[in-house]
Structure formats: C-alpha cells, structure tokens
Amino acid sequence: MSSLSPPAHKIWWKEPIERVEIMWIGICIVWGLLMTFMMPYWHVVGKQNLSNEAYRITPAYFQKKAQEVVDKHTVRVETDQKIPVVAPPVGSDVYLVARLWEWWPILELKKDQSYRLHISSMDWQHGFSLQPANINAQIMPGYDMVITVTPNKAGTYSVVCNEFCGIGHHKMVGKIYVKE
C-alpha cells in the first residue's frame, strides 16, 4: 500500500471507540456544562460582571448633562489641560465624557458609596477600562452607558481607553479618585 492508493474501505462511525477517548469526551462535556452554568452563577452571586444599562442619546445632549454636573460640583482644576475635578454628592448621577483623546472630567468619589456613572463618547468608539479594578465597558457615540459603581477601596484609579481610537490613543488616560 502506498500513500497514493485509497485507504481500506471502512465506515468510521462503525469503528469501536477506545475507552480513553470516551473518558476524554465525557470530561469535555462535563467541563463545558460546568463552565456554562458558572457564568450566570458568578454574575449573580459573585458579582463578577457589571449589570449596566444603555440608552440612546445625542452627543450634544450628553455633553450638556455632563457640563451641568461639572458646573455644579467642580472642586478644583488639575493638569496642564485644566481638567475639572468633580466631587458629586453621594448617590448622584456622575458623567464621564470620552472624546479624542481624553476622559473628561476627573471624578472624586467617596469610598463605600454608590453612584450611577454615565459614560458616552462624543466621537468614536472607545473602551472604558478602570484599573486596577479591571472593570470594562464598550463606549459608543449615541449611547449613554450607565454603570452603578460602589468603590470599596480608597486610592487613585486610572481610566484607560482599551479600544484603538486613533493616533493619540496611547495618551487617553483619565483618573477617578476615591476618598475615605
């Protein structure tokens, strides 16, 4: 027999299956079912994924809402670009604007208090990544993403864009301060 001659006439599904193969197929099925049921379990019980809301909105209206909050709750200005630091009241709606290539404004939140964080893009698709908390959301123009956040550790958190948004993408880093 050579590699050019056809294989012996066998019907593959009538061949006996080795015991080890059956064991591995069983392990794969059990593991797949386990992982399928763990995803909703950890979402609900382990609070691993954020439940968020999304609403249609125009960029101009979202910018207006964000500007109202900034005008009302600015406590100081930081950086060379004069970005306002906003300290909203506990339990309020806070707004974070994504635009080429910045997050605006800087937020100052209180530890162990809940806020409704509204995020939207003014121009392109951006990715909201809160580090080191590892919270991720996709931010699209025309949509108001609302995430309820309750910071449980004081410190400075970085807001990083994790969707490539152009030549200044690497500089699109914002801040959220969490105070005691």
Which domains, ranges and CATH numbers included, belong to the chain? Answer: 52-179 (2.60.40.420)
C-alpha 59/C-alpha 94 separation (Å) is 16
Structure tokens at 161: 């864009």
User: What is the average per-residue pLDDT within 48-68?
Assistant: 87
Residue 2 has pLDDT above 70, yes or no: no
Residue 11 pLDDT: 77
pLDDT band of 134, cuts 50, 70, 90: confident
C-alpha 173/C-alpha 127 separation (Å) is 11
Task: With residue 60 as reference, give the H or E element that holds it.
Answer: helix 59-73
Residue 110 pLDDT: 95
Q: Are strands 126-131 and 135-139 parallel, antiparallel or unpaired?
A: antiparallel
Residue with tokens 């609900």: 44
Specify the amino acid at residue 78: E
Residue 74 has pLDDT above 90, yes or no: yes
Residue of 104 and 52 predicted with greater confidence:
104
Residue 70 pLDDT: 95
Residue of 172 and 42 predicted with greater confidence:
172
Per-residue pLDDT tens over the stretch 112-131 = 999 999 999 999 999 999 88
Reading phi first (left if > 0) and then psi (alpha if -120 to 50, else beta), residue 24 is in alpha
Please report, for residues 28, 90, 91, 149, the alpha-carbon distance to residue 123 in angstroms, rounded to integers and kept in the order given. 44, 30, 28, 25
Per-residue pLDDT tens over the stretch 21-50 = 999 999 999 999 999 998 888 877 776 566
Contacts of 56 (CB under 8 A, 6+ apart): 142, 143, 144
Residue 3 pLDDT: 67
Residue of 45 and 151 predicted with greater confidence:
151
Nearest to 177 by CA among 158, 156, 160: 156
Residue 142 pLDDT: 94
Its pTM stands at: 0.74
Contacts of 179 (CB under 8 A, 6+ apart): 108, 109, 110, 111, 154
State CA 173 to chain mean position distance.
Answer: 15
N-to-C CA span, the chain: 79
Share of residues in the chain with pLDDT > 90 (%): 66
Per-residue pLDDT tens over the stretch 79-91 = 788 899 999 999 8
